[in-house]
Amino acid sequence: MKKIFSRLLNHLITVLLYISGSITSLIVILIVFFLFSEGIGLFGKKPTEDGFIMAVNKSNTVNHLNAEQIKLLFDGEITNWSEFGGKNDSIILFRMDNITDYFTEEQIGENFENLPACISKVVDSIPGIVAFVGKHYIDKNFAGKELQVDKITVGDFMFGKLWFPTAHPVAVFGALPLLLGTFWVSIFAILFALPLGLATAIYIAEVAHPTVRNILKPVIELLAGIPSVVYGFFGLVVVVPFIQNAFNLPVGETAFAGSIILGIMALPTIITISEDAIRTTPRSMKEASLALGANHWQTIFRVILPYSSSGITAGAILGIGRAIGETMAVLMVTGNAAVIPHTLLAPVRTIPATIAAELGEASQGGLHYQSLFILGCVLFIITMIVNLAVEFISRRNRRVAS
Amino acid sequence: MYKIESKEVSLYYGDHLALKNISLQMKANTVTALIGPSGCGKSTYLRLLNRMNDLIENVKIEGTVLIDNKDIYARGIKIDDLRKKVGMVFQKPNPFPKTIFENVAYGLRVNGISNKSYIEERVIRSLQNSALWEEVKDKLNKSAFELSGGQQQRLCIARALAIEPSIILMDEPASALDPISTAKIEELIYELKDKYTIVIVTHNMQQAARVSDRTAFFYIGELIEYNDTKEIFTNPQNQRTQNYITGRFG
Ligand SMILES: Nc1ncnc2c1ncn2[C@@H]1O[C@H](COP(=O)(O)OP(=O)(O)O)[C@@H](O)[C@H]1O
Ligand SMILES: [Mg+2]
């Protein structure tokens, strides 16, 4: 009777585990699917506002431009068509507001009835012109030609240098600054956190007196549980002013500040996992080293660290993983400038910070909204790679150990 | 003049008295076997001789241990130097996760030796002396984990020989090995006797009888009898020794 009951219980538990396992996997897949389906519409769309077109002189040999080029054009950064592969004509911008520079109000007509003809005339008479006008002012007799706007491609998105998701007349979605921002902040966070974390792990595992260890370990594990806003606040109040003063900068909100805060946040992960790895070094291995006349430090560096290197690597990668995905603290201390950082002391913006800061203001279903979901996908892929790397390393570790 | 001498040594693990007043003398270039039922303190005594017990917390030691007439527990003694002189082979083979070559070279490297040709020469010599050379000469750069258990144990012996100690401690070096590997190790011990003073813990009576010159019988932390091996096995003075070697307990 008892036997049957426990058998039944076993069965029930197996079934429950099976169900919860498959439901969890399904939900993860659904989330990923949702991210992609929300964002994928971005590609293949034109980044211009609906109802507007760009018109140029018939003689202009440039036929199409992408969003980044248009942005540079309207910002006056590029002033000659030759830079777009066209003729050597300087670029003259024309918007609807400019119409009165060329025509009197009588010529345009009381009810703007002559406007299409006026626009046509202007575009026809100035070779270097580019006119950004409403579609309904372009009629059949239009003397210029429409400048085509390139659709957004994956390449533009991943390697575009400009992130202006709300710019007029074209929005520019180049995620490179955000990718690089994430990359810089994370790399330097790990460069700063790994030596420090490893040293602490070695100290706790091998050097510290047991009483010190028993105090230190729970404290460090506690650090992992502090909400990231608190770290961000600490960064804002302590680290940012410090950096500003130390390097004599106009603002202290920099990639460097983000790296330091992320490094501190990654420390508990790195310390805990490395320390566990160091402790798995068999006693016999240490004794063998000591018995050969090696001192404690030689034993640590020549036997214990090599033996636990894959565990330490896993700790470091998980630390990076946390850094890459971290949002709030970074948002608070990095200055949030979506530009490609050339030094650590410049403001940057990371992918998660961008999503957090912009999702609220992006209208649902719009290009901006979709671009943020694509950013989410990119982030997902990066963290997935990081986790696979950990899995791979710890699997290799298991093989070596056995 | 003795190579190793302990005078009324007692050792406590916390409150637990693991060795009681042990006095023992060993001459240079002899093999001494430590026998006795498990838990009687053989390993503890062995580890006393290279101060391995120092690693364990709450260990208290009384009495004196002399090696080459010097008190190894005296103030100012450098433990690293002592351990260079007193090599150790453990019960289970414990090679480092390094290549075969680097395992043997380890002791030299940590002692600050960096002369490549000298290291190479010592590694080869040590592998020859531990009767492993022929088996590994073509794969010195392979991981030590690729060797069989018996080969790994001989590698550990080679590793200990490389730093040219004068004493080698062996804690049941063949207990984890098959009979053929065991025979090889025993043969090796016999050959090493010319150059080294060897102390070996074993639970195998035949092995003690085969390889050792002198035998010490321990029983619950006490040294019961210490004599020439032949005497111990043919004419034990103590009843408990007799019971143990005839297999009546243990
Ligand atoms: N690290 C230790 N801490 C506490 N007690 C120990 C420790 N090592 C050994 N002992 C105790 O000391 C006694 C002798 O152990 P050991 O020298 O290992 O015996 P043997 O090698 O003869 O089997 C045993 O009672 C054992 O429980
Ligand atoms: Mg033992």
Give the DSSP per-residue string, A295-334: -HHHHIIIIIHHHTHHHHHHHHHHHHHHHHH--HHHHHHS
- Are A388 and A375 in the same domain? yes
Of residues A307 and B247, which shows the higher confidence score?
A307
Within this chain, do residues A122 and A215 fall inside the same structural domain, yes or no? Answer: no
Residues A131 and A212 in one domain: no
Does residue B132 belong to any structural domain of this protein?
no
Q: Does A277 touch chain B (CB under 8 A)?
A: no
Pick the closest to residue A96 from A142, A148, A48, A52 (CA basis): A52
- Considering only CB atoms, B110 lies closest to which of A210, A285, A293, namely A293
* B80/A287 Cβ within 8 A: no
B106 touches chain A (CB under 8 A): yes
Residue whose CA lies nearest to ligand 1 atom number 25: B39
Nearest to B6 by CA among B35, B44, B36: B44
> Which chain A residue has the Cα nearest residue B82?
A293
**Are the beta carbons of B195 and B29 closer than 8 angstroms?**
yes
Are A53 and A135 in contact by the 8 Å Cβ rule? The answer is: yes
- At A85, which CATH number? 3.40.190.10
**CA-CA distance, B68 to B77, in Å (whole number)?**
13
Of A6-15, A68-77, B20-29, B37-46, the one with minimum mean pLDDT is A68-77
Q: By percentage, how much of chain B surpasses pLDDT 90?
A: 84
- In this complex, do B110 and A290 lie within 8 Å of one another by their Cβ atoms? no
Of the candidates A150, A173, A196, which is a domain's last residue?
A173
**Which CA distances in Å does A169 have to A116, A166, B83?**
20, 9, 79
Q: What is the pLDDT of residue A399?
A: 58
- Cα B230 to averaged position of ligand 2 atoms, centre (Å): 23
Of the residues A112, A138, A173, the one at which a domain ends: A173
Q: How large is the angle between the packed helices A176-202 and A255-279, nearest 10 degrees? A: 40
Q: Which domain holds residue A221?
A: 176-401
List, for chain A, all residue ranges whose pLDDT scores fall below the cut of 70. 397-402
Give the confidence band of B69 by pLDDT, cuts at 50, 70, 90: very high
| Protein residue closest via CA to atom 9 of ligand 1 | B44
Q: Same domain, yes or no, for A260 and A344? A: yes
Q: Which H/E stretch holds residue B181?
A: helix B179-192
The answer on A246 and A310 residing in a single domain is yes
- Which among A149, A173, A197 is the end of a domain? A173
- Asked if residue B124 is part of any domain, the answer here is no
d(CA B96, CA A302): 10
Instruction: Name every chain A residue with its beta carbon within 8 A of the beta carbon of B145.
Output: 400
Pocket lining for ligand 1, CB < 6 angstroms: B 13, 16, 18, 36, 38-44, 56
Mark whether A137 and A185 lie in a shared domain. Answer: no
pLDDT higher than threshold 60 for residue B64 = yes
Give A230: exposed, middle or buried? Use CB within 10 Å, 0-12, 13-18, 19+.
exposed
Residue A5 lies in a domain: no
pLDDT given at position A198: 95
CB contact at 8 A, B202 and B186:
no
Ligand 1 atom 24: residue of nearest CA: B39
Per-residue pLDDT at B43: 95
Q: Judge if A324 and A376 occupy the same domain.
A: yes
Task: Indicate whether A290 and A180 sit together in one domain.
Answer: yes
Distance CA A91, CA A130 (A): 7
The CATH number of whichever domain residue B83 belongs to comes to 3.40.50.300
Residue B145 lies in a domain: no
Residue A9 lies in a domain: no
Residues A183 and A315 in one domain: yes
Claim to verify: residue A83 and residue A65 sit in the same structural domain: yes
In a domain, A221, yes or no: yes
Question: Which listed ligand is nearest to B218 at the C-alpha?
Answer: 1
pLDDT band for position B249 (cuts 50, 70, 90): low
**Diameter of chain A by CA atoms?**
103
pLDDT top residue among A224 and B200: B200
- For residue B16, the ligand 1 atom closest to its alpha carbon is 5
Cβ distance A290 to B55 less than 8 Å, yes or no, reads: yes
- Whole domain around residue B228: which residue ranges? 4-95+166-245
Look at residue A402 in the predicted model and tell me its pLDDT.
47
B181 — pLDDT class (breaks 50, 70, 90): confident
Give how many domains chain A has, as a whole number.
2
> Which ligand number lies closest to the CA of residue B44?
1
Q: CB of A141 within 8 Å of any CB in chain B? A: no
Please count the structural domains in chain B: 1
For residue A212, what is the domain's CATH number?
1.10.3720.10
CA of B46 to the centre of ligand 2 (A): 9
Structure tokens at A276: 């566990």
Residues A352 and A219 in one domain: yes
Asked if residue A371 and residue A233 are part of one domain, the reply reads yes
Does a structural domain hold residue A28? no
The confidence score (pLDDT) of residue A244 equals: 93
Count of CB atoms situated within 10 Å of the CB of B228: 13
pLDDT tens across B207-230, in order?
A: 999 999 999 999 999 999 999 999
* Nearest atom within ligand 1 for CA of residue B172: 21
Structure tokens at A153: 């491609």
Position A27 in a domain: no
Report the pLDDT averaged over residues B83-87: 95
Q: Which residues of chain A lie closer than 8 angstroms to B109, CB-CB?
A: 302
**Are residues A291 and B52, on separate chains, in Cβ contact within 8 Å?**
yes
